[in-house]
Copies of this chain bind each other. A is one copy, B any other.
């Protein structure tokens, strides 16, 4: 950085599909919105759709502090300081805390420069610190930092590679940020099914994150088909999904609504509590399955099929049943472990657990959010990776369509 007449400037570089992915626009906007100025020193446009573009940009800010802040904002857009230095590393001085100027991660692919070499950061996720160990670098949550951990600070020697929008995967691109309900849900479901098949073919795992609406909307039978057919590797949910599912299995109701007839059953709220009491008495879901108490439903089918599930507690839980993790730090750690190698994540009508899962994922894992409420879909998409696909529709019908596509032999 040089300082001329009290203003500060630096030269940054970036390369990739800068135009298609709107990174160039975002870079320019960021400079101007933060009161800076820019001068394009070089711009080499990709001549065809396949070629990368390359940018060298001089940015100027009113003072050194503003410049730092501006550079912080440009890093997630794929800019790196043109003059390369090693990353600055400071030891953590307290358990659970980072140095004040720690580098806070995005969910994009990140490299840090150590001893002149660029190292890929492992376990990429947003809102973490980067810790160096020997010749490795990994994301670590603030609460997991321990005194002496070597934490990357400042901006030097950090390089982020944003996901480039891949036009070739047109099925994917078309749906990005498309939360309109006035689209053909059927087309979307067919594409999601194709992505799921492709994930399994590639040996990836499929994670579902589901709320109790799965039960209310009659989706259990279709979800079970996906479980049996091997399209569910892990189910992340809360206490409510399990309790509603058990209630439906034991009593045929869900919070007092008869699921077959659709008619409300007054006093049926009692079934909810009896379901909880029954699972408590049995000692948990797995015990209830093995004892023959629980013979159908999502939880039963997961136990029978050996599908892993993690139930995270929340302040609104009834019970909770013994399977529910009441400590949310433990629940987050278990969620994160299960999502570590997920190839695709499908969120069914749960803002709470959907955001929880989304926070843990790197930007390159596609997330499908299904909800009847457009506001929920928009909110999840806003927070999530650029790969979030929103679908505004009824979860029961979505699962019906999905199961018809993926397990046609069971359709009639």
Chain A: residues with CB nearer than 8 A to chain B?
19-20, 22, 24-26, 28-34, 37-40, 43, 45-49, 69, 72-77, 94, 96-98, 100, 102, 104, 106, 126-127, 142-143, 167, 170, 174-175, 181-188, 191, 213, 216-218, 238, 257, 259-270, 272-274, 276-278, 280-281, 312-320, 326-329, 331-332, 335, 351-353, 355-356, 359, 372-375, 392-394, 396-397, 400-401, 412
Contacts and interface: CB of A to CB of B under 8 A. Distances in A.
Contact of A315 (B45, B266, B312, B373): B312
A329 B352 CA distance: 18
Nearest to A76: B267
B174 A263 contact: yes
Nearest to A391: B394
A331 B317 CA distance: 11
A265 B170 CA distance: 12
A326 to B, nearest CB: 5
A270 B72 contact: yes
Contact of A217 (B185, B329, B353): B185
9 shortest interchain CB distances as A-B pairs: A73-B267, A315-B356, A187-B262, A184-B218, A181-B372, A316-B356, A312-B315, A104-B273, A313-B328
A359 B104 contact: no
A184 B266 contact: no
Given A167-B29, A181-B372, A394-B185, A265 B315 contact: no
